[in-house]
Amino acid sequence: MGNGLITNPIIWADVPDPDIIRVGHHYYMVSTSMHVMPGCPIMKSQDLLNWEIVNYVYDSFENNDAHNMVDGKNIYGQGSWAASLREHNGLFYVCFSSNDMHQFYMYTTDDIENGNWQRSVINGLIHDPSLLFDEDRVFVIYGNGGIYITELTADATAVKEGGIAQLLLETESEGIGLRCEGCHAYRIDGIYYLFFIEWPTVGNKRRRQICYRSSKLLGPYERKIILDDDMGYSNNGIAQGGIIETQDHKWYTLLFQDHDAVGRIPVVQPIEWLDGWPIIGIDGKASETFATDFPYTPSKPIVMSDEFDYEENQLALNWQWNHNPNDQLWSVTQRDSHLRLTTGNVVDSVLKARNTLTQRTEGPACVVTSVMDISNMKHGDHAGLIALQNLFGTVGVKVDSNGDRVVVMSVNDGDGMEAIIESLPYDHSIIYFKIEFNFENSIDIAKFYYASEDGQWIEIGYPLEMKYTLDHFMGYRIGLFNYASLETGGYVDIDYFHFAKLVNGTYTIMK
């Protein structure tokens, strides 16, 4: 065995509401993806520290105006929430609810890394669900405060007629702001364990992890607080996630912690069993670093650079679109080693623009650079790099109604529209962009730069004070965008996307 070391956060990026399973030596994780597509990323690890993206559950799960961002509609902060991942008898299951659709989605495959997922839909919201396979029966346990249980058919595609469907328990309400939700249900050694997140308004006043247990599925259940700690970070509690048993019968949990603008980041902690209760951390405290028996197994980066050198018109798994893309309007094969983004509908804000291509940001700090050929933009077009959240910042090029190019830095004006902070004439056909992100100690500042072909970086606008807001409910992402405000059909060709993150005091290019 190895002498691996877990250092938290295991991924300093937005990977919220994680759920985890083990298959042999491999661990698989799913997380919330809301309005970015493809969605429900499947990540893989052998040591619980190094993870890579190996699949998505769906390319898109609905085809309507809101998911396509048409006619001013959108699903920011909605889409897929808090997915549950399970394996049972050789099949893999992922389920989630979509608040905008008021539906519950179930996906299955026999190949979690390479397979296509079969989809079924159940009407109605099943909030923050957890699948529970109990011998030959299938249940979903869900809710907020009031926790419900519903029995599904054996194939988990529908509610079982005549099956269990009832309130399972009422969780604590006195002194609690956010009552228990985010269920993760297990049967271990004949005991049923239900894990939840809650947020009290008394005591430490931070998110904490709760466990309910019972020897009977329908209760009664006992309750215990099993982690109430912020690991020294801003009284932001660590909670909501799954537990896992290794092949040598050690236990760990995968939870998340709010880290302001970068998002909700995953944290691994050991579990010790005491009197039949799982106690998280070391001596009841979350640990930034602890030793494991895992061999160190490096993996591909979660956020990566891209030269756009593809033989087929298919992007690396690290990329996700803001809402459903129009696949007729992007290409990595029309021009060798370039990403082409073509405008397809007229909008008045980058927040309404389709085909904005995104990756996560990463802490403690990261830098992204890109270069665009802007010679085929049309009047009214706007293209560039964005620090994407509701309170966005962009550095880009606009073509005015006279056909003149200007380089601009813009932000949200408060109503989702773009306020131009600085605008400068630009008369070249090639332009370089850079954004520097600093998340260390919640500084949460982004700075914006451009350069012409002589390569001298010029800062533009002002540093953006990044804020995590619940209307998007997502950490800041890096986006490549091009949209039309007057006429469609213009395009930009992007030569590369280079991403570097701060590792041990040095910026390292991620490839």
Domains of the chain: 5-291 (2.115.10.20), 320-509 (2.60.120.200)
| Prior bond of 278 cis (ω within 30°) | no
Contact indicator for 124, 104 with CB cutoff of 8 Å? yes
Tell whether the torsion through CA atoms of 282, 285, 291 and 294 is positive or negative: positive
Closest CA to 322 of 54, 56, 79, 89: 79
**What is the per-residue pLDDT for 1?**
36
CB 236 within 8 A of CB 293: no
Yes or no: say if 410 and 466 are a contact pair by the CB < 8 Å rule: no
In the block, tokens 């932001």 appear at 236
List the structure tokens of 270.
């050991």
Q: What is the pLDDT of residue 3?
A: 62
Distance separating alpha carbons of residues 112 and 135, to the nearest angstrom: 22
Is residue 502 within 8 A of residue 365, CB to CB? The reply is: yes
Strand partners, 334: none
Contacts of 131 (CB under 8 A, 6+ apart): 84, 86, 93, 95, 138, 139, 140, 156, 185
Pairing of strands 491-503, 365-373: antiparallel
DSSP, collapsed to helix, strand or coil, labels residue 189 as: coil
What is the identity of the amino acid at 287? Answer: S
Of 37, 21, 49, give the one whose Cα is nearest residue 112.
21
Under 8 Å between Cβ of 69 and 323: yes
**Rounded Cα distance, 345 and 489, in Å:** 9
Q: How far apart are CA 409 and CA 462, in angstroms?
A: 8
Spatial distance between the Cα atoms of 306 and 300, rounded to a whole number of angstroms: 13
Backbone angles phi, psi at 440, to 5 degrees: -65, 135
Q: Considering just the CA atoms, what is the radius of gyration of the chain in Å? A: 23
Asked if 14 contacts 306 with a C-beta cutoff of 8 angstroms, the reply is: no
The stretches in the chain having pLDDT less than 50 are 1-2
Q: What is the pLDDT of residues 306-326, one digit of tens each?
A: 999 999 999 999 999 999 999
Peptide bond between residue 9 and the one before it cis (omega within 30 degrees of 0): yes
Taken as a whole, the chain contains a residue count of 511
Q: Tokens for 486, please give them.
A: 């007057």
- List 408's β-bridge partners, or say none: 396, 423
For residue 357, CA distances in Å to 213, 478, 496 come to: 44, 8, 13
Rounded Cα distance, 247 and 216, in Å: 27
**Catalytic positions, please?**
17, 181
Q: Any residues with CB less than 8 A from the CB of 64 and at least 6 apart, and which?
A: none
Residues 6+ apart with CB under 8 A from 351: 74, 76, 390, 392, 412, 416
Q: Are 196 and 212 in contact (CB under 8 A)?
A: yes
CA dihedral over 61, 50, 47, 15, signed as positive or negative: negative
